[in-house]
């Protein structure tokens, strides 16, 4: 099955260290990650990805979700299938901190969060129930593994 067409706007705000984030987000990788995250009922998508600093991330989370802290990814979905339209806002300092804590490359964590945000744009939600959370995590894992990336939810094997 061919992947749906994607109209992508990739924006990186001006902030200290933006170059590392720009390097982790080559446009062709971002488009590939997002297109793979789009479900079979999606015929096309228009997605803006914006990478912001902590101040803008916090303000958006506060104004739209009434949570006064910067979060890793915010999804603003405007229309669902068959044509998905959404803005995905990623907070660079939060993404970088999480990637370091998880000991994973910055680009790999961005891939996960972009897939996560794209699923939200299609109506997936992990906050509605445990069953929905498990289903969304499984979908994210399958998409990332199909892209050749590790399962972000895999637990490390215990040493005996």
> In whole angstroms, what separates CA 4 from the centre of its chain?
18
Helices (H), 41-105: 54-65, 92-102
What whole-number distance in Å separates Cα of residue 142 and Cα of residue 19? 30
- Is 126 annotated for ligand binding? yes
* 3-class secondary-structure state, position 71: coil
Rounded alpha-carbon distances, angstroms, from residue 79 to 22, 45, 82, 114, 123: 28, 9, 9, 17, 10
* Residues forming beta bridges with residue 79, ordered by sequence position: 85
140 in Cβ contact with 153 (< 8 Å): yes
- Is 116 annotated for ligand binding? yes
Known binding residues for Zn(2+) are 116, 120, 126
Known binding residues are 116, 120, 126
């Amino acid at each position: 099955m061919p992947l749906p067409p994607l109209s992508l706007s990739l924006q990186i705000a001006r902030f200290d260290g933006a170059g590392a984030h720009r390097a982790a987000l080559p446009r062709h990788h971002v488009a590939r990650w997002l297109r793979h995250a789009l479900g079979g009922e999606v015929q096309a998508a228009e997605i803006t990805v914006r990478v912001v600093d902590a101040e803008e991330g916090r303000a958006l989370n506060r104004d739209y979700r009434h949570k006064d802290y910067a979060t890793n990814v915010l999804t603003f979905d405007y229309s669902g299938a068959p044509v998905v339209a959404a803005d995905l806002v990623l907070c660079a300092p939060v993404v970088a901190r999480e990637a370091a804590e998880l000991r994973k490359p910055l680009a790999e964590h961005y891939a996960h969060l972009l897939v996560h945000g794209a699923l939200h744009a299609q109506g997936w939600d992990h906050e509605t129930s445990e069953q929905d959370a498990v289903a969304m995590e499984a979908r994210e894992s399958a998409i990332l593994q199909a892209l050749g990336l590790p399962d972000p939810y895999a637990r490390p094997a215990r040493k005996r």
